[in-house]
Every structure is written in C-alpha cells, then in structure tokens.
Amino acid sequence: MGAAQLNTMLDDTVDRHYCRPAVVCGDHETDFERFDESVQWLCDDLAARGVQSHQRVGICLHGGWEFLLAFHALLRLGSVAVPIDPFDEAAAFAAGDLDLHYLISHCAADCFLEETVEVICGDWVCPMFDVAEEFTLIAVSAQSPLHVESGLFLNDLGYRFWPAGVVADRVGGLQQNLDLDASACAAVCGPWSSPSAVLLVLACAASGSCVQVVPVFGDSAMVWDELIAGDISVVFAPPLLMHDLLRVADSGAWASGRPRMVLPDGEVLPEVVLRRRGLTRQTPADPPVYEFAWDDDYAPAQLRPVS
C-alpha cells in the first residue's frame, strides 16, 4: 500500500469485499458497502462545512462506531486526523498546540466535548455545527493557513506526525504479523486514540478484515462473553483489561483459535501474566503483538510474542 493510497484505502476494499462484514457492534453487523455509504454521508457533510484536505482535524470520540466513521471520513477527504482521548486532559492540552483547524465529536458526548473545547479553544468562542445528524463539528481555526502533508498525528507520549508513507509501512507490518485477511476479525476494546488501535483499524480496512467494537464499560467477564460470541482472530486492549481477560478466559478457547493480541504502543503486560502464560521477560521495545499457542497436546496454552 503506497502513501498516496491512504485516502482511497476503504474504496479499494469495498470494491473487493463489499458484502463482507466491516464492523460489528453488539448484535448489529454492517457490511463494507453499507459502512462505505455511512462514511461517504459524513464525508459530504464535513466537506460542506469547509473541511478540506491537509487540514488538521481532531477526533474526540470514545465510541468505536463513531470513531470508525469519523476517522475513515477524514482519511477520504485527505485531512490529517488527530485522535484525542476524551478522558485524557493532557492529550487535549497537547492537541491544542497543534493548531487544529477543526474538532469533531459526538452529539451525545457534550460533557467531554465541553471540557476538550475549553482546553483547546480557551476563551475563544468557536462556531459549532451539526453534521450527519450524530456529530458535532467545531471550527477551531478553520482559516488557518497552516497545512501539512498527508499523514496522521498520533499521541505516543506526546503528539508526533506520521507521514503517510510511514503509516503505510506500519500498516503493512501489522497485516503480516496479525495474518489479516478477509476472514479475520479484530476485537478492539479501546482506547481508540492509541496509535496501535489507529494502525490496527487501518490494517483491517486494507485487508478487508472486520472490526468488532467491544465496549469496555463493564466487568471483564462481560467483555469476554462479547469476544467468544464471535470468531475473533485479533484482540486489542490496554494491559490491565488484557490481564483481566486472560484471568477469566478459558485457555483452551483462546489457544484453539490462536488469536493475536495487540497492546498500546510502549505498554507491557503485568508480571503475573508473564509468569502464568509462559513469558519471562518483556520490555517496552518488544513488538506489542502476541499469540496463544500449544507446546504439545498436554501442555497448557502459552502466550508468545510474534516476531
């Protein structure tokens, strides 16, 4: 996948896999064709409000379905997406230094949006618009002449610009490490603003893989029930939630499907998980991709890094 193809990635996948599932939220499944229509609707509304290519647009969303729609719409427009964790005030302050043109949030998240807008805009009253019935678009500095090349701003201990070529290389690596193809399904538990989650979303779009949105507001047993209800091949979750999932999970169920697990960049699993699952050492520099595997027919399942 070349750098120039980021904004056409979903188009290419829809052409090849239009009837296959793209997103699963609970009992609701959306195929690539319907998902593409929803993305285009939001894309048209954003463009009508002035969002253009190479503008920096913050995405302040905690819902998976909403994040996927907004993220792919901005990619299609050629805008530079800036994922912002709505629960992290430090992330909002850091994003405020990026001279954003716009900020997009969900209409139902007024409490998070108000705090984020206050941090980013200060005392300046920014125009706000309803787009695609579900979203709110805030014009932070719409007329700013500052534009950058195609790519993403991702928050990995501070925001850093990722050119489209670097993003494409990382996406290709994830596709290979995670064995992503049209039959794969990645369960994402958030946070959606994490660089690993963003790149995983892109890798799924490029591969025609399904993204299963898993709400994390509940106990780990409920999340585990969500995971085993579908044919999951990849799991993305923060370390503490991953720890809880491993605690309640049935080793046989995990190992038989050989799911790959992805952690946020720079994160490590708790020592207790490493001891119980066959890992003796791990550093933040290790690849954040792991899988369950059997040593033989009698040994318990082990968690192993994917090289």
Instruction: Compute and round to an integer the Cα radius of gyration of the chain.
Output: 19
Q: Could you say which of 163, 180, 195 is where a domain stops?
A: 163
Where is average pLDDT lowest: 36-40, 106-110, 118-122? Answer: 106-110
What is the model's pLDDT at position 248?
A: 63
Q: Could you say which of 116, 143, 163 is where a domain stops?
A: 163
Q: Are residues 138 and 186 in the same domain?
A: no
Q: Could you say which of 116, 138, 163 is where a domain stops?
A: 163
In 3D space, the residue among 281, 275, 263 whose CA is nearest the CA of residue 300 turns out to be: 275
What is the model's pLDDT at position 2?
A: 43
What CATH number is attached to the domain comprising 248?
3.40.50.12780
Where is average pLDDT lowest: 15-24, 262-271, 290-299? Answer: 290-299
Number of independent structural domains in the chain: 2
What CATH number is attached to the domain comprising 40?
3.40.50.980
Q: Where are the alpha helices (DSSP H) in the chain?
A: 9-17, 32-48, 64-77, 89-96, 110-121, 164-177, 195-207, 220-229, 239-248, 251-257, 271-276
Q: Note the pTM of the prediction, 2 decimals.
A: 0.85
- Domain span including residue 116: 32-163
Q: Are residues 296 and 258 in the same domain?
A: yes
Is 43 in a helix, a strand, or coil? Answer: helix
Q: Are residues 110 and 194 in the same domain?
A: no
Q: Are strands 185-188 and 234-236 parallel, antiparallel or unpaired?
A: parallel
Q: Are residues 151 and 134 in the same domain?
A: yes
Q: Are residues 299 and 217 in the same domain?
A: yes
What is the model's pLDDT at position 207?
A: 93
Q: Are residues 156 and 197 in the same domain?
A: no
Cα 179 to chain centroid distance, Å, stands at 18
What is the model's pLDDT at position 299?
A: 47
Length of the chain (residues): 307
Q: How confident is the model at residue 226 (pLDDT cuts 50, 70, 90)?
A: low
Q: Are residues 283 and 264 in the same domain?
A: yes
Residue with more model confidence, 132 or 251: 132
Domain membership of residue 14 (yes or no) is no
Domain membership of residue 120 (yes or no) is yes
pLDDT value at 244 more than 50: yes
